[in-house]
């Protein structure tokens, strides 16, 4: 359903002209270059432009997002009607208004700015504003309220309205005051629950006991806000983690460190169990806790790895928050292999294969040895296939074959025995997977070419590896055999 105000602007040339000048909301400029999309995948539609090259978008179906021509984008309003209120009643030339002003102060500042506008370029601004407000049916809300709306909207840009360049997948920037640190978002529930526990709230203890994700947040909150009276709560948290015994050991170890730092003999048995016998006495507990704190569980919140908060966000179901944090980290990352690898794997875990492939492509480009190039190339092939770019997956596998000498070249010494270490199996597996994907996509040429390489690889890798891939190999061979016969 089209927004009422937007429909009026599109069907009433007189109103569209007023919005375009002097208020710089021109529906005749509803286009944007380069091509862009939202990181969240929500709908995005250009609806107007301004005379600086910026664009207004309908974001997610109702909200209005503004993107400048210099790579910044922020939410303007929750609706087109609200956006027009802002651009008409708080126009771009009113540069002196601030949040500290009351209603009369705002009116005075706008009157002064309008006086200058009348003198410089818009002598009829009062009549133009009145006609546009009346024609669009815009409300006459207090300026203080309207200004508050205009100030709060950019702070809601993340995570749902983050704009990406569609070709390069780079995120448009958001001014720092409008960004909320991910750690504050994901620590919020844990801090609240810990606060309730400290007041003796039994319901909070039950909630924490039954929710391992909330418990992880509580433990992280306790890590950075340590208080003398917390030992009973920390002991309770460790008991819950010890009883759960899931494959996730991080929280159990953190809880053990927090309890051990108090050095109480009564906790030794619990700590011995939680640390698999590393803690055997009260004095040793404190020493062990200090060592753990120095290695991984410090008290400096700002020094904690951003990946800690990304993982917690993912577990909390805040996938878009995690995605945005990872994309912005990737945009700011230079040629650092370990960081690029971690970003690639984290993006893959949340299912963002295009961004994961971007990180992996950069990672592959800085590898120096054949072994490393082969290792990262087959991962890139997997990611390209998962994102649906089968041709790019094929190119990545070509680089993997070159790195290990499967294309007839001589590999360096580190990969001459690559098939014995399992790398050959993984590269071969990706060839077979790509063959099946190409058949399903109807790309017979890619399917046949990839299968031909796959057959040669199966003859090269170790017998155990080839046997492990027998089922996948058979499926790929039959899939290719079922393709239409080539015409002479």
- The number of C-alpha atoms within 13 Å of 93 and in the hemisphere containing its C-beta is 19
- Which distant-in-sequence residues (6+ apart) come within 8 Å of 151 by Cβ? 99
Question: What is the C-alpha to C-alpha distance for residues 425 and 467, in angstroms, rounded to an integer?
Answer: 10
Question: What is the C-alpha to C-alpha distance for residues 151 and 475, in angstroms, rounded to an integer?
Answer: 58
Q: List the one residue out of 341, 347, 373 whose CA is nearest residue 360.
A: 341
pTM over 0.95: no
- The number of C-alpha atoms within 13 Å of 97 and in the hemisphere containing its C-beta is 27
> How many residues comprise the chain?
488
Mean pLDDT of all residues belonging to the chain? 94
Tokens of 156: 């809601």
- Which distant-in-sequence residues (6+ apart) come within 8 Å of 276 by Cβ? none
* 321 within 8 A of 313, measured Cβ to Cβ: yes
Is pLDDT at 460 greater than 60 in this prediction? yes
pLDDT digits (tens, 9 = 90+) for 80-120: 999 999 999 999 999 999 999 999 999 999 999 999 999 99
Is pLDDT at 374 greater than 60 in this prediction? yes
Strand pairing of 73-77 and 63-67? antiparallel
pLDDT value for 244: 85
Query: CA 186 → CA 9, 154, 288, 403, 406, distances in Å?
Result: 41, 20, 28, 42, 47
pLDDT value for 117: 97
Question: C-alpha angle with apex 292: 290 to 294, nearest 5 degrees?
Answer: 70
Helix axes 337-349, 319-331, angle to 10 degrees: 160
Strand order in the sheet with 63-67: 44-49, 55-59, 63-67, 73-77
Kind plus residue range of the DSSP H or E element containing 298: none
Strand pairing of 55-59 and 44-49? antiparallel
Read off the pLDDT of each residue in 38-52 and give the average, rounded to a whole number. 97
Q: List the one residue out of 459, 405, 402 whose CA is nearest residue 428.
A: 459
- Span between the terminal Cα atoms of the chain, in Å: 53
Is pLDDT at 419 greater than 60 in this prediction? no
pLDDT digits (tens, 9 = 90+) for 3-14: 899 999 999 999
Sign of the Cα torsion 406, 411, 415, 416 reads positive
Dihedrals phi, psi of 77, to nearest 5 degrees: -160, 165
Q: List the one residue out of 209, 234, 207 whose CA is nearest residue 220.
A: 234
* Predicted confidence band of residue 475 (pLDDT cuts 50, 70, 90): very high
Q: List the one residue out of 363, 371, 365, 366 whose CA is nearest residue 347.
A: 363
Is pLDDT at 347 greater than 70 in this prediction? yes
Tokens of 86: 């802002």
* 73 within 8 A of 357, measured Cβ to Cβ: no
Give the three-class secondary structure for 196. helix
* 161 within 8 A of 149, measured Cβ to Cβ: no
pLDDT digits (tens, 9 = 90+) for 257-290: 999 999 999 999 999 999 999 999 888 999 999 9
Of the given ranges (148-152, 164-168, 198-202, 246-250), which has the lowest mean pLDDT? 246-250
pLDDT value for 420: 57
pLDDT value for 409: 60
Question: What is the C-alpha to C-alpha distance for residues 140 and 147, in angstroms, rounded to an integer?
Answer: 13
Is pLDDT at 453 greater than 80 in this prediction? yes
Sign of the Cα torsion 12, 37, 154, 152 reads positive
Give the three-class secondary structure for 47. strand
Read off the pLDDT of each residue in 134-154 and give the average, rounded to a whole number. 97
Read off the pLDDT of each residue in 291-302 and give the average, rounded to a whole number. 94
Kind plus residue range of the DSSP H or E element containing 105: helix 103-120
* 409 within 8 A of 402, measured Cβ to Cβ: yes
Is pLDDT at 452 greater than 80 in this prediction? yes
- Which distant-in-sequence residues (6+ apart) come within 8 Å of 293 by Cβ? 257, 261, 299
413-441 in b/e burial notation, b at 16+ Cβ within 10 A? Answer: eebeebbeeebbbbbbbbbbbbbbbbbee
Is pLDDT at 1 greater than 90 in this prediction? no
pLDDT value for 145: 97
Is pLDDT at 356 greater than 90 in this prediction? yes
* Residue keyed to tokens 């062990």: 288
- Which distant-in-sequence residues (6+ apart) come within 8 Å of 342 by Cβ? 307
Give the three-class secondary structure for 172. coil
pLDDT digits (tens, 9 = 90+) for 394-418: 999 999 999 887 665 655 555 556 6
Give the three-class secondary structure for 256. helix
pLDDT value for 370: 87
* 194 within 8 A of 203, measured Cβ to Cβ: no
């Amino acid at each position: 359903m089209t927004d009422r105000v937007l429909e009026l602007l599109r069907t009433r040339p007189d109103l569209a002209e007023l919005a375009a000048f002097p208020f710089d909301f021109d529906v005749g400029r509803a286009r944007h270059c380069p091509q862009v999309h939202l990181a969240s995948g929500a709908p995005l539609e250009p609806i107007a432009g301004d005379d600086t090259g910026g664009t207004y978008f309908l974001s997610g179906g109702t909200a209005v997002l503004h993107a400048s021509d210099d790579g910044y984008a922020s939410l303007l309003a929750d609706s087109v009607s609200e956006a027009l209120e802002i651009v008409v009643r708080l126009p771009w030339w009113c540069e002196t208004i601030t949040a500290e002003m009351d209603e009369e102060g705002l009116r005075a500042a706008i009157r002064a700015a309008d006086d200058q506008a009348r003198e410089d370029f818009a002598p009829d601004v009062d009549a133009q504003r009145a006609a546009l407000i009346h024609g669009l049916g815009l409300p006459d809300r207090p300026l203080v309220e309207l200004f508050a709306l205009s100030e709060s909207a950019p702070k809601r840009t993340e995570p749902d309205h983050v704009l990406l360049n569609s070709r390069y997948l780079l995120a448009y920037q958001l001014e720092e005051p409008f960004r909320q640190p991910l750690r504050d978002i994901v620590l919020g529930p844990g801090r609240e629950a810990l606060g309730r526990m400290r007041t003796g709230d039994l319901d909070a203890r039950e909630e924490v006991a039954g929710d391992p994700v909330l418990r992880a947040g509580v433990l992280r909150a306790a890590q950075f806000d340590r208080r003398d009276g917390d030992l009973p709560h920390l002991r309770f948290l460790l008991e819950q983690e010890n009883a759960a015994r899931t494959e996730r050991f991080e929280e159990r170890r953190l809880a053990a460190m927090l309890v051990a730092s108090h050095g109480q003999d009564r906790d030794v048995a619990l700590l011995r169990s939680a640390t698999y016998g590393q803690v055997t006495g009260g004095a040793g507990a404190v020493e062990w806790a200090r060592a753990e704190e120095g290695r991984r569980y410090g008290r400096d919140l700002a020094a904690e790895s951003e990946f800690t908060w990304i993982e917690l966000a993912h577990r909390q179901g805040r996938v878009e928050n995690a995605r945005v944090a990872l994309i912005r980290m990737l945009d700011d990352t230079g040629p650092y292999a370990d960081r690029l690898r971690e970003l690639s794997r984290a993006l893959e875990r949340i299912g963002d294969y295009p961004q994961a492939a971007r990180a992996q492509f950069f990672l592959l480009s800085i590898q120096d040895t054949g072994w490393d190039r082969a290792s990262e190339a087959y991962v890139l092939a997997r990611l390209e296939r998962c994102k649906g770019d089968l041709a790019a997956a094929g190119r990545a596998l070509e680089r993997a074959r070159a790195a290990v000498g499967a294309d007839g070249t001589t590999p360096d010494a580190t990969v001459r025995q690559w098939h014995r270490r399992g790398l050959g199996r993984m590269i071969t597996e990706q060839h077979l997977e790509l063959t099946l994907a190409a058949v399903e996509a109807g790309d017979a040429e890619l399917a046949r070419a990839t299968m031909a390489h796959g057959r040669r690889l199966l003859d090269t890798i170790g017998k155990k590896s080839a046997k492990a891939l027998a089922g996948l190999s058979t499926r790929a061979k039959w899939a290719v055999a079922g393709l239409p016969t080539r015409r002479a």
